[in-house]
Amino acid sequence: MLSLAQNPRLLRLQNLHQIPLKCLHTSPIPTPTPSPSPSKPTSQILKIRKSLLSRETTAVEIAKTFLDRLRRTEPHLKSFLYISPADAVLKQAEEIDRRIQNNEEVGPLAGVLVGVKDNICTSDMPSTAGSKILENYRPPYDATAVKKLRENGAIIVGKTNLDEFGMGSTTEASAYQVTANPWDLSRVPGGSSGGSAAAVSARQCVVSLGSDTGGSVRQPASFCGVVGLKPTYGRVSRYGLVAYASSLDVIGCLGSSVADTGIVLQAVSGHDKFDATSSKQGIPDFASQFIPSDYLDSKPLNGLRVGVIRETLEDGVDPDVISSLQGAASHLEDLGCTISEVSFPSFSVGLPAYYILASSESSSNLARYDGVRYGNQIFADELSSLYGHSRAGGFGTEVKLRILMGTYALSAGYYDAYYKRAQQVRTLVQKSFKAALEENDVLISPAAPSVAYRIGEKKNDPLAMYAGDIMTVNVNLAGLPALVLPCGFVEGGSSSLPVGFQMIGSAFDEEKLLKIGHIFEQTLQGCCFVPPLVANDF
Structure confidence by residue, pLDDT tens digits, 336-368:
999 999 999 899 999 999 999 999 999 999 999
Question: Is pLDDT at 196 greater than 70 in this prediction?
Answer: yes
Question: Is pLDDT at 105 greater than 70 in this prediction?
Answer: yes
Correct CATH for 42-356+416-537 of 3.90.1300.10, 3.30.1490.20, 3.30.450.80, 3.40.50.2020:
3.90.1300.10
Q: Report the mean per-residue pLDDT for the chain.
A: 90
First to last CA, the chain: 29
Higher-scoring residue by pLDDT: 295, 59: 59
The edge-to-edge listing of strands for the beta sheet with 113-117 is 80-83, 155-160, 113-117, 207-212, 250-255, 227-230, 482-492, 495-504, 442-446, 305-309, 338-342
pLDDT at 527: 57
SS in 3 state form for 79-95?
Answer: CEEEECCHHHHHHHHHH
With CA atoms as reference, report the closest residue to 433 among 476, 467, 390, 403: 476
% pLDDT > 70, the chain: 90
With CA atoms as reference, report the closest residue to 334 among 376, 296, 372, 378: 296
Contact present, 45 and 207 (Cβ < 8 Å):
yes
Q: How far is CA 148 from CA 51, 112, 477, in A?
A: 23, 13, 27
Radius of gyration of the chain (CA): 22
Higher-scoring residue by pLDDT: 535, 262: 262
Question: Is pLDDT at 147 greater than 90 in this prediction?
Answer: yes
With CA atoms as reference, report the closest residue to 156 among 76, 219, 66: 66
pLDDT at 423: 97
Question: Is pLDDT at 25 greater than 50 in this prediction?
Answer: no
Which residues touch 32 (CB under 8 Å, ≥6 apart)?
17, 21, 532, 535, 536
528 band by pLDDT with thresholds 50, 70 and 90:
low
Burial 197-214 (b: 16+ CB within 10 A, else e): bbbbbbbbbbbbbbbbbb
pLDDT at 494: 67
Per DSSP (E only), the strands in 29-73 are: none
pLDDT at 373: 77
pLDDT at 167: 97
Higher-scoring residue by pLDDT: 434, 460: 434
The number of residues making up the chain comes to 538
Burial classification of residue 20, based on how many CB atoms lie within 10 Å of its CB (0-12 exposed, 13-18 middle, 19 or more buried): exposed
Contact present, 179 and 195 (Cβ < 8 Å):
yes
Angle at 358 between CA 356 and CA 359, to 5 degrees: 65
Higher-scoring residue by pLDDT: 278, 389: 278
Lowest mean pLDDT among 70-74, 151-155, 296-300, 481-485: 296-300
Contact present, 166 and 216 (Cβ < 8 Å):
yes
pLDDT at 6: 37
Q: What mean pLDDT is predicted for residues 467-476?
A: 94
Q: What mean pLDDT is predicted for residues 162-185?
A: 97
Report strand pairing: 305-309 vs 338-342: parallel
pLDDT at 535: 64
- Distance, in Å, from the CA atom of 110 to the CA atom of 247, rounded to the nearest integer, reads 33
- Domain extent listing, the chain: 42-356+416-537
Q: What mean pLDDT is predicted for residues 313-322?
A: 92
At 218, the amino acid letter reads: R
pLDDT at 159: 98
Q: What mean pLDDT is predicted for residues 405-422?
A: 94
Q: What mean pLDDT is predicted for residues 365-372?
A: 88
Q: What mean pLDDT is predicted for residues 469-495?
A: 91
Lowest mean pLDDT among 173-182, 317-326, 370-379, 485-494: 370-379
Q: What mean pLDDT is predicted for residues 454-473?
A: 87
Q: What are phi and psi of 310, to 5 degrees?
A: -55, -45
State pLDDT tens for residues 392-403.
889 999 999 999
State the CB neighbour count (10 A cutoff) for residue 99. 16
- Cα torsion 145, 278, 399, 394: sign: negative
Question: Is pLDDT at 463 greater than 90 in this prediction?
Answer: no
83 band by pLDDT with thresholds 50, 70 and 90:
very high
Question: Is pLDDT at 537 greater than 70 in this prediction?
Answer: no
Q: What mean pLDDT is predicted for residues 255-259?
A: 97
521: three-class secondary structure by DSSP = helix
At 182, the amino acid letter reads: P
Question: Is pLDDT at 19 greater than 50 in this prediction?
Answer: no
Lowest mean pLDDT among 25-34, 209-218, 231-240, 496-505: 25-34
DSSP class of residue 48 equals H
pLDDT at 32: 32
For residue 54, the number of C-alpha atoms closer than 13 Å in the C-beta half-sphere is 7
Question: Is pLDDT at 323 greater than 70 in this prediction?
Answer: yes
39 band by pLDDT with thresholds 50, 70 and 90:
low
Which residues are part of the catalytic machinery? 117, 192, 216
Question: Is pLDDT at 3 greater than 50 in this prediction?
Answer: no
Alpha-carbon torsion angle 257, 258, 262, 263, nearest 10: -30
Burial 466-493 (b: 16+ CB within 10 A, else e): bebbbbbbbbbbbbbbbbbbbbbbbbbe
Global model pTM greater than 0.85: yes
pLDDT at 445: 98
Question: Is pLDDT at 14 greater than 70 in this prediction?
Answer: no
- Distance, in Å, from the CA atom of 512 to the CA atom of 468, rounded to the nearest integer, reads 27
Contact present, 508 and 235 (Cβ < 8 Å):
yes
509 band by pLDDT with thresholds 50, 70 and 90:
very high
% pLDDT > 90, the chain: 78
491 band by pLDDT with thresholds 50, 70 and 90:
confident
State the CB neighbour count (10 A cutoff) for residue 250. 26
